[in-house]
Chain A
């Protein structure tokens, strides 16, 4: 069964460093998303991506964040200068239209 994959599973970085989180969505899906979940809290929407452009972004998704689909399979989230409060689980998801299927997440720890 096709699934969304994410790498790395855990990323530790120093405050102020850039990180790139990688995702491979399900191959026939058209919509791609990033969400984050701070430990013990709800899942929060960051950004959605369709037809090679951002379709919607949340207030969390400020100028420090960017997304890219550099080739036909990968979908990346870049955080330019990480802050302590960026520590969270980051989930990538993809959908054909309605049901969003999530990857296993990348746990980002900013020290």
Chain B
């Protein structure tokens, strides 16, 4: 069975602080895919990143970085120098194959105050 746990329900930071959103997953498959989505106050779901289980290389995209550790089944997301526009709900998700359903975590509400 697949499961994604985002233990942090809500995080509040002040602008320019770094913040890390945690994600822990469970799956029996050896091949799987991990995702992060952003849901701003307007409500849409915005794709941020996909990671394959066989690629543990960490990734950086501007102020965003992701740390994938198979040994701890974690796929954490760090925002450096946070901005008010980063305020949103962030979802981690897992899929066991291409074309398969996404299993979402409960989401973490990030509030960035100026």
For residue B33, which residues in chain A have a CB less than 8 angstroms away from its CB? Answer: 98
For residue B99, which residues in chain A have a CB less than 8 angstroms away from its CB? Answer: 30-31, 48, 50, 55, 95, 97
Which residues of A in the span 32-86 have a Cβ within 8 Å of any Cβ on B? Answer: 33, 35, 41-45, 48, 50, 55-56, 58
What is the CB-to-nearest-CB distance from A55 to chain B, in angstroms, rounded to a whole number?
Answer: 7
For residue A44, which residues in chain B have a CB less than 8 angstroms away from its CB? Answer: 104
Judge whether A48 and B50 touch: CB under 8 Å: no
For residue B107, which residues in chain A have a CB less than 8 angstroms away from its CB? Answer: 42
Binds A, one of B40-48, B62-70, B71-79, B80-88: B40-48
Judge whether B105 and A56 touch: CB under 8 Å: no
How far is B100's CA from A99's CA once the two chains are assembled, in angstroms? 10
What bracket does the count of chain B residues touching chain A fall in?
20 to 34
For residue A58, which residues in chain B have a CB less than 8 angstroms away from its CB? Answer: 101
For residue A95, which residues in chain B have a CB less than 8 angstroms away from its CB? Answer: 98-99
Which residues of B in the span 28-71 have a Cβ within 8 Å of any Cβ on A? Answer: 33, 35, 37, 43-47, 50
B45 and chain A: residue at smallest CB distance: A102
Judge whether B98 and A98 touch: CB under 8 Å: yes
B102: interface (CB < 8 Å): yes
Judge whether B45 and A99 touch: CB under 8 Å: no
How far is B101's CA from A55's CA once the two chains are assembled, in angstroms? 10
Which of A44, A98, A105: most chain B Cβ within 10 A? A98
Judge whether A99 and B35 touch: CB under 8 Å: yes
B103: interface (CB < 8 Å): yes
For residue A35, which residues in chain B have a CB less than 8 angstroms away from its CB? Answer: 102
* 7 examples of A-B residue contacts, CB within 8 angstroms: A45-B103, A50-B99, A56-B101, A95-B99, A98-B33, A104-B44, A105-B44
Interface residue ranges, A against B (CB under 8 Å): 30-31, 33, 35, 41-45, 48, 50, 55-56, 58, 89, 91, 93, 95, 97-105
Interface residue ranges, B against A (CB under 8 Å): 33, 35, 37, 43-47, 50, 91, 93, 95, 98-107
